[in-house]
Amino acid sequence: MRTLYPEIEPHAHGMLDVGDGQSVYWEESGNPDGKPVVFLHGGPGGGTSPAHRRLFDPAVYRIVLFDQRGCGQSLPHASSPDADLAANTTWHLVADIERLREALGIERWQVLGGSWGSTLALAYAETHPERVTELVLRGIFMLRPSELEWFYEGGASAILPDLWESFLAPVPEELRGGSLIAAYHRLLNDPDPAVHGPAGVAWSTWEASALTLLPRPALVEAFAVPEYALAFARIENHYFVHGGWFEPSQLLRDAPRLKDIPAVIVHGRYDLCTPLYNAWDLHRAWPEAELEIIPDAGHAFDEPGILDALIRATDRFGQRL
């Protein structure tokens, strides 16, 4: 079973001014003359980590990572008291990917994204199919109302009732009768740290607790760090309140635009964050893509079966010119 490549450090990095007062952090590692690939992190708002470089053979790939607007090392950070997310939308991020590609002098590249990263990868590839050599997607999320209702409005509570109580805890009783996403929007944007702070941690740790098939306390603790949790929660909630700025089922509707792009879809059978029907629906709309269902995995990219499938895919695509 394949696992992460050895640790590597970037050989280049910087901040790219993408307009709207935003600068995004980017880095390159691996082979400077290798096959270009860009990694799209999850969330939205999750940021990149050194482990993400290790999904690719560093002798083969020119590995590009970047932190999307408002998170990671990008500025301004969404945890700032005066953070303005008006210029942080799916289509701003799609444009940022193109700006980064052009700034790095890359003609075409492979795109790997998981969870929200799969959403963004689909949006980017459907907009710019001529710029994508291959797609590797994990934990498919298309930001449809049914997907949001499942995980943030109570569906998943049938399986995780104990954890769901912690998610509900910051929400006043009078706000629980309607949309919880809308209720959290009020809490996360309240100027009082005593309100937005606990709300950020509750939102972030609810998601972290459901990422893996087996509990991983250290992962939940990492998501509970206040600055990270608040930025992560604010950005995610901002996207969900606005439906990702997508037309109804837009990513499925436009999937035929991807038919000529070699692709692998990897999805855990017991994914509670983004249930398997998402990947199934996408595969039916895009039958040219390979679908690999991992029988003993949840959502996280580094669960053994998912990691094995992702690296097998990047190794195979690394051999394509």
Rounded-to-integer distance, Cα 225 and Cα 211, Å = 17
Tell me whether residue 315 is one of the annotated catalytic residues.
no
Please identify which of the residues 185, 238, 283, 299 carries the catalytic annotation.
Answer: 299
Q: Which residues contact 137 (CB under 8 A, 6 or more apart)?
A: 112, 113, 114, 118, 121, 122, 263, 264, 265, 266, 289
Question: Is residue 29 within 8 Å of residue 5, measured between CB atoms?
Answer: no
Tell me whether residue 299 is one of the annotated catalytic residues.
yes
Helix axis angle, 145-152 to 180-188, nearest 10°: 70
Task: Read off the amino acid at residue 116.
Answer: W
Please identify which of the residues 271, 281, 283, 302 carries the catalytic annotation.
Answer: 271
Kindly tell me the number of DSSP H helices and DSSP E strands found in the chain. Answer: 12, 8
Residues in the chain: 321
Task: Read off the amino acid at residue 135.
Answer: L
Please identify which of the residues 23, 115, 118, 204 carries the catalytic annotation.
Answer: 115
Rounded-to-integer distance, Cα 116 and Cα 105, Å = 26
Q: Which tokens hold the place of 195?
A: 């309100």
Q: Is beta strand 22-30 parallel, antiparallel or unpaired with respect to 12-19?
A: antiparallel
DSSP letters spanning 125-170: HHH-GGGEEEEEEES-----HHHHHHHHSSGGGGT-HHHHHHHHTT
For the CA atoms of 222, 315, 303, 240, the dihedral, rounded to the nearest 10 degrees, stands at: 60
Task: Read off the amino acid at residue 262.
Answer: P
Annotated catalytic sites, by residue?
A: 115, 271, 299
